Chain A
Amino acid sequence: MEIRLEKFSKSFGPVKVIEDMDLTIGDCEMIALLGPSGCGKTTTLYAVCGIHKVTSGRIWFGDKDVTALPPQKKNVGVVFQSFALYPHLTIYENIAFPLRIRKESNADIKKKVDEVAGVLHMETLLDRRPGQLSGGQQQRVALARALVRKPDVLLMDEPLANLDAGLRLEMRSEIRRIQRETGCTSILVTHDQVEAMSMCDRIALMNDGKIQQIGSPNDMYHRPENRFIAGFIGSPPISFADGKVEDGSFVTPGLRFELPDRIKKASVAAGQNITVGVRPEYLQPDFATPIEGEVTFIESQGREVLYDITLAGGQVFRSIQTGEQVCKFGDRIRWGIDVNSAFFFDEKGDRI
């Protein structure tokens, strides 16, 4: 089922959290609402499921206007960050709860609970209570409870945030597998770009109550629309340096190189302030455009080594290189940048 948000706004008293947001999520698609905390992604999710009332704008499920519907009438499955299981009920009764409310017959309930428990590999847990389960098991119960009613929409609010690292990795692919199997239109709220990129078809990157860019993880990484997106997506993050355009070159203290043709064509005036952004993988010892500086930080991650290079002007660039460590802390190095893969941003932060 397609979900459409039209000019959706949400205020809490005088505080505007979301303003005029438009978002369309295709049938069977899984989209991530990604952004730093406080950007309004959970608010959006709560509005879609009806827990929060919409201040203005419309929300459509398919061709049905659900803007004013209370959550009870919406048939959405929600996985909360805290899982929000009912502590006094067994796992079986937790999963069966939405069906019990609908007054389905015991036989139907048993069939459906067993089915979803099978999909999530938790048949043996049904007699226990939430307090007796591990975090990952609780997470799966929450997912099962959301799925058992065959929801029109599956909403997940930071579903992996309360899990430890190993489990998070496992549940990431697990959730994606189940979403594909059930074909449920899904929204995943997360502040973790890796989660968003690895689980979702598309990402809606939000900041300050606005969607900055919607696109596939690949688009988002390789064609960020502005400086915020470039900075938010990518780990370790991109390095920025502010400078000026002089004679078709980018100039900043300690670094000068000729702008690539596509930037020159994009009518940048001489003397204009621009910012260059270089992802760590595009700064390597053997790349073409030379960059000189001192190694001021080294972090060895095993397969990869991370270096911080501080230029004469004080700007810091980051490089990530596979293989063994090639220099020491404090060494002066002369490496290179792949200028064609670098991003350039104008004064407003938009990519040129």
Chain B
Amino acid sequence: MERIRSYLPLWFMLPASVAVALFFLIPVFMTFVFSFTTMSSDTGILGSRYVVSDDTIRTLKGSGMDAALLEKLGSRIFTFDEAGLAALRKSNLKPAVVKEIAEKLSGKVYTSEKKLFNALKRLNNRPRSFKDRKSVSRSIVQTLKNREFKTAEEFRAGLASIGVEVAEDVFENLLDAANMSWKWTTSNYSELMASDFTGKILANTAFYVFFTLFFNVGFALLLALATFYMPSGQSKFFRAVWLIPRVSPSVIYIMLWRWLSFDNGFMSYVLGFFGVEPENWLNEYPWTFVIFANGFVGASMGMIIFASAVVAIPSDVLHAAEVDGAYKWQQIRRIILPLMAWPILFITTYQTLSLMTSFEYILLLTDGGPGFFTTEVWALNAYHTALSNYFGNLRYGFGATLAVMLVGVGIAMSLLYLRLFDFKKLVAEPQIEN
């Protein structure tokens, strides 16, 4: 029969497509794009910015620019021009003061605040207090340093306002040095390759993913099989118990782990009865706690999938194995586990990918510590680099590079698993069926 083709379903898909594009496709694409930029909290993510900072001046000094010019760039000048006088009139200085300044000092330029104050002191109606003098200086000061200019023209005007006039080639150099906007670059990738931390974080990640995965899948299988052979009431109870970590809020769950591990926490208390000195166990064995905390949460998911897969094996097949002489362990090894290859592949793949990208429990538990990068995994490092950094700039571009690498490794791992478990064959034939 001819199928009726219609575009209507496309319209039904539209909201989902928009959501997928907004929250997945575009972010992934933009991450890839960002990874080729120098974006950071310094540069912002918008268009061009020109700023002369102390850093800029230091850099220029290093490149051998005229010291007198650099002195000027960093300096402040005080000019009683039209704009300055207008600002004075708006300030809360006494009108008599402003009037005398306008008469006597109009057009005067001072290169330091001290000189300005000396000039002010010579006036009849002089500003009495330091605060008032400061008010004058603030109204008329002209600086270049740390001011933000949107375009090259504004920057030129800014230079002019502090009385700097330079030749065109010097201007180009200044402009270039003051350019704070982000640039296209591949240096993120070369920096990643060269960095001393990359290896450490990579090893951390591999360690974390492998052992958590092993614990995860192994424990889930154990739970599924154990509850399979239990009376149904007990098995329901145990499955429900192991779901609790999954349904409890992550922050509470991790707080319990931390409370468990403190030197005045539960573990120390209980071990105290056996004469063990109280310790901060989390600091002592951070990886153990990271793996257990993550593994228990992950195991519940595997348990559900595996438990339903075991139940789906026809009871006749297990009866047949029994009369064929196979005891429980032989049934598990020779019948049940091979028949569960597909769910095991699914959980292993799924957990590998989610473990590689998940860092919330580590963030809450150790935040990559204790100490320097002890439990810092790749995803957490990307988060720290790009979004949460106490010590320096937030480096969006470099963080994006880390994220892109993670996506790449994720895809490679999925392909590897599919090859390993012979995906096509698994899908091609009915599995648990005669």
CB contact list, A56-84 vs B, under 8 A:
70-72, 74, 76-78, 80-84
Q: Point out the residues of chain A lying under 8 angstroms from B325, CB to CB.
A: 72, 98, 101-102, 149
Whether the Cβ atoms of A101 and B330 lie closer than 8 Å is yes
Expressed in whole angstroms, the Cα–Cα distance for A89 and B341 within the complex equals: 13
| Given known A72-B326, A98-B325, contact A83–B319 (CB-CB < 8 A) | no
* Chain A, Cβ-Cβ closest to B325: A101
**A214 contacts B by Cβ under 8 Å:** no
CB contact list, B49-97 vs A, under 8 A:
none
Whether the Cβ atoms of A87 and B322 lie closer than 8 Å is no
Interface size on B, residues (CB 8 A): 24
Total A-B Cβ pairs within 8 A: 79
Q: Which residue of B324, B430, B432, B433 is within 8 Å of A101 (Cβ)?
A: B324
Q: Point out the residues of chain B lying under 8 angstroms from A89, CB to CB.
A: 338
Q: Point out the residues of chain A lying under 8 angstroms from B432, CB to CB.
A: 87
Q: Point out the residues of chain A lying under 8 angstroms from B324, CB to CB.
A: 97-98, 101, 145, 149
Q: Point out the residues of chain A lying under 8 angstroms from B314, CB to CB.
A: 82, 84
CB contact list, A145-165 vs B, under 8 A:
145, 149
Expressed in whole angstroms, the Cα–Cα distance for A76 and B429 within the complex equals: 31
* Chain A, Cβ-Cβ closest to B431: A87
* Chain A, Cβ-Cβ closest to B432: A87
Chain A min CB distance to B229 (Å) = 14
Chain B min CB distance to A151 (Å) = 9
**B103 contacts A by Cβ under 8 Å:** no
Expressed in whole angstroms, the Cα–Cα distance for A118 and B40 within the complex equals: 77
Expressed in whole angstroms, the Cα–Cα distance for A97 and B317 within the complex equals: 12
Whether the Cβ atoms of A51 and B434 lie closer than 8 Å is no
Expressed in whole angstroms, the Cα–Cα distance for A206 and B379 within the complex equals: 68
Expressed in whole angstroms, the Cα–Cα distance for A51 and B331 within the complex equals: 14
Q: Point out the residues of chain A lying under 8 angstroms from B429, CB to CB.
A: 129, 131
**A85 contacts B by Cβ under 8 Å:** yes
CB contact list, A77-118 vs B, under 8 A:
77-78, 80-89, 97-98, 100-102
* Chain A, Cβ-Cβ closest to B341: A88
Can you offer 15 A-B residue contacts whose CB atoms are under 8 A? A51-B323, A72-B323, A72-B326, A78-B323, A81-B316, A82-B314, A82-B434, A84-B320, A85-B317, A86-B317, A86-B321, A87-B430, A100-B334, A129-B429, A131-B434
3 closest pairs, A vs B, by CB?
A84-B316, A84-B320, A98-B324
Q: A72-B327, A77-B323, A149-B324 are in contact. List 12 more A-B contacts (CB 8 A).
A: A50-B323, A51-B322, A51-B323, A72-B322, A72-B326, A80-B319, A86-B321, A86-B335, A87-B339, A88-B338, A97-B326, A101-B334
